[in-house]
Amino acid sequence: MTQTAITLAAQPFDFSCDLASTALVIIDMQRDFIEPGGFGETLGNDVSLLSAIVPACQAVLSAWRAAGGLVVHTRESHRVDLSDCPPAKRNRGNPRLRIGDTGPMGRILVAGEPGNQIIPALSPMPGEIVIDKPGKGAFYATPLHVTLRKKGVTHLIFMGVTTEVCVQTSMREANDRGYDCLLLTDCTESYFPQFKAATVDMIHAQGGIVGWTSPSQGLLSALTPGPA
Ligand code: TIU
């Protein structure tokens, strides 16, 4: 891929990357979190908050694809025998349905089930990377770091859900592995608006201790420059 420099206004200061060494990482935009009847709802959450970001995510995904950028999708997903789901995760709290139980979209958070699929609006295209992850972070017990290193990726742009759980954990894991990370603030959501706001603040505080944050418009403009 030819080098295409991207610079956009962000917090705490401008974010710069090159398209050829940057991946768009879309965290867990799967039916289990976005649609009624999945894991998110069984935990007692209002899932309609999350579906509101889908159009903004679609706009970024389609511009990123048109520019020829690398796309990574993740799914929070366990093996059918739940051998990668520790009891400490499965037995936590008092949900109506636990991981592995059968709900209206099949077994909760289990690979291959209807609820585990990425929502149709953001479906992976052939050739895009899909990572099934058993934890909150996209790097824990997955081949993501090796895959990105092989492709020469140094910068990551994050979208997805939920902001303070799987997105933040993945950004912190990425930060520790040496990636520069940007979070698109209108392309991520939490079941708790105050947690989203706090997470965005804590990512870019202290000079970008975890990374950068910005609305998606800056990236869209950088990807589709108007006439000079
Ligand atoms: N993907 C992700 O964030 N998993 C969660 O369980 N999030 C909650 O906010 N529960």
Site to substitute for ligand 1 among 26, 28, 74, most atoms within 8 A of C-beta: 28
Confidence of residue 4 (pLDDT cuts 50, 70, 90): very high
Nearest ligand 1 atom to the CA of 167 is: 3
Cα distances (angstroms) measured from residue 193 to each of 163, 199, 217: 9, 10, 21
- The pair of three-digit structure tokens given for residue 138, joined into one six-digit string: 């996209």
Taking the C-alpha atoms of residue 111 and residue 205, their distance in angstroms, rounded to an integer, is 36
Q: Which two tokens stand for residue 78?
A: 């366990």
For ligand 1, whether the C-beta of 166 sits within 6 Å is yes
pLDDT value of position 94: 87
Looking at residue 224, what is its pLDDT? 87
DSSP-derived pairing of the beta strands 180-189 and 155-161: parallel
What's the pTM value of the predicted model, to 2 decimals?
Answer: 0.97
Catalytic residue among 17, 57, 85, 166: 166
Of 88, 82, 84, 122, residue with least CA distance to 102: 82
**β-strand pairing of 70-76 with 129-133:** parallel
**Residue 228: what pLDDT?**
57
Helix H or strand E segment including 198: helix 193-208
150 is catalytic: no
pLDDT at 227 over 70: no
Q: How far is CA 149 from CA 17, 137, 169, 202, in A?
A: 16, 17, 19, 27
Measured from the Cα of 166, ligand 1's closest atom is 3
- Is residue 55 pLDDT above 60, yes or no? yes
Q: How far is the CA of 103 from the centre of ligand 1 (A)?
A: 17
- What tens digit of pLDDT does each residue of 68-99 get? 999 999 999 999 999 999 999 999 988 889 99
**Cβ–Cβ under 8 Å, residues 159 and 188:** yes
Closest of 94, 85, 108, 88 to residue 39, by C-alpha: 108
Confidence of residue 177 (pLDDT cuts 50, 70, 90): very high
